Amino acid sequence: MSGGARTDVAERVAKAERIIAFLRQRYPVKTAENVAADIGGCVETIQKMIDRVSAPSAWTYGRLVCAYGPSFLCSALANPPGWIVAAAHAERLASVEAELTRITAELASLKS
């Protein structure tokens, strides 16, 4: 096997590890079941991906991107372009602001 082929395999393995880590962080329990529900896919297919038996198909990868957005791409790509990083940052900021609004309302309710 040439050095380039080894590098390609290593890059694919590293990408798979990043995807699996992202999914497990999101769903530490019943990862395959939850991800399959999110993307409208098959639990067995997702489990095979998590078990490193197979790589995600283009359809599965596309559905993961649609379900989890720029934060997924930032995790999956070794060096995501700046626009994806900015989109993931904006997505996270919106999420934190929404959570802050919810907590502020709950706090006000508890104080009254």
Average pLDDT of the residues of the chain: 94
Q: Is 66 helix (H, G, I), strand (E, B) or coil?
A: helix
- Number of H helices and number of E strands within the chain? 5, 0
Task: State the total domains in the chain.
Answer: 1
Give pLDDT tens digits for 48-92.
999 999 989 999 999 999 999 999 999 999 999 999 999 999 999
Q: Is the pLDDT of residue 3 over 70?
A: no
Its domain, for residue 24, covers 3-111
CA-to-CA dists, residue 66 to 41, 51, 60, 69, 95, angstroms: 13, 22, 10, 6, 17
pTM (predicted TM-score): 0.82
Cα 3 from Cα 66, distance rounded (Å): 34
